[in-house]
Structure 1
């Protein structure tokens, strides 16, 4: 899933929340995976190996979890995204469902992870659902891939992209300020969650100017724009990349971090 911080709760923005399906193939092709060290830290205190990737999209985080050797089940509401996940990871059990209606039994997983998706959940409903499927002492963690705006040209890119392509939570500075506890359950029903922990891990993605523009074009804020506005926004980003020495010629490593927000079910 994705990205921009809306002016009201994301679950109240169906156009944004459900904008990814038509771009499922591009999402699968261009979105980055997640730093393995980040996923490893998210899971380090889980009581067992059973992991739910919730809001799994096309399986970017799912693939990272498979590489770590845990037992993964993926749940995704969008049929097009789910089709891409099943195509790329046919051995993974992948179910249609949502954070607010998880198609799994009580206490059936040791950890629930969400990659660039936790901010889309309606936690008033999803919090008790997540608590229901988590085993005692299970872990809930959100992971976000963010641009490292401590790097000068990334800070410039964020300004060139504007709020639609690169929102406050899409850069490291914004993520660190906005994410802590903001998207975690306030109440897990009969269960409770402990104190939140936040960490970030170095990550990167090999890109060209063209492929970075294609990546940013899969952002929810861009996807729901009228075509003329979308083209203008992407043209501005392309013009910026074509004049920056770090990005104007050939391939470069996009400086990123995978941020993690982790909490334990008590």
Structure 2
């Protein structure tokens, strides 16, 4: 039996297919239950009432029921072997349907839609509907996957391009860094060499001309006891057996040196020490 919902736009594809079964091994009971009974326990209570009424074990039957209103239920039980035989027949003919219902409960098309099976129908008997819509769905799904793949590939390609750019920039910076480090190493070597040259004091004025000119100007009663030179500055200590008031004029400024400071100090045995600071000329 085919049932079509009102206003259906697909007359070639029924909304509900019903397989009616006729069997002599069928019993029908009218069972009354309290109107306040919750729907969540309705099936369990009905099965318990049916099991109490059946002349055979409840496990040996397949049962169906319909709510007739006002707490009245029509319950139908069919021997399980009959249901199995009907299903095998349907499978041999490749029949597809939404529900298997005993003819005893199929008074009108409206009542057929109200019948509830006690056990769910195996899925292999159910018809496949909306084939065209499902095909369209899978086509759209495949198209979506393809577009998503293209989008992901383009994003990945953009990301890879940016990554390559960053890699090139990083390579250039590393090359520049190595060059700067090499340059810094060369500058450090130059600084060390310059410091060594400065320490060597290669351009320090020679000592010999200064001492030669100085000792040539000293009186015979005077001699040099100490001489130290730091680049263009020299400290000189002179000792004399007597005071020499005109010493400044005797050893005064010349082309080798200039007197910066001169002071004297008297020592033991009437000796006199002169402390002279000179500026060496280049």
TM over 0.5: no
TM range (shorter): under 0.3
> Looking at CA atoms only, which structure, 1 or 2, has the larger radius of gyration?
2
Q: Give TM-score, length-normalised by structure 1.
A: 0.19
If the length of structure 2 is used for normalisation, what is the TM-score? Answer: 0.18
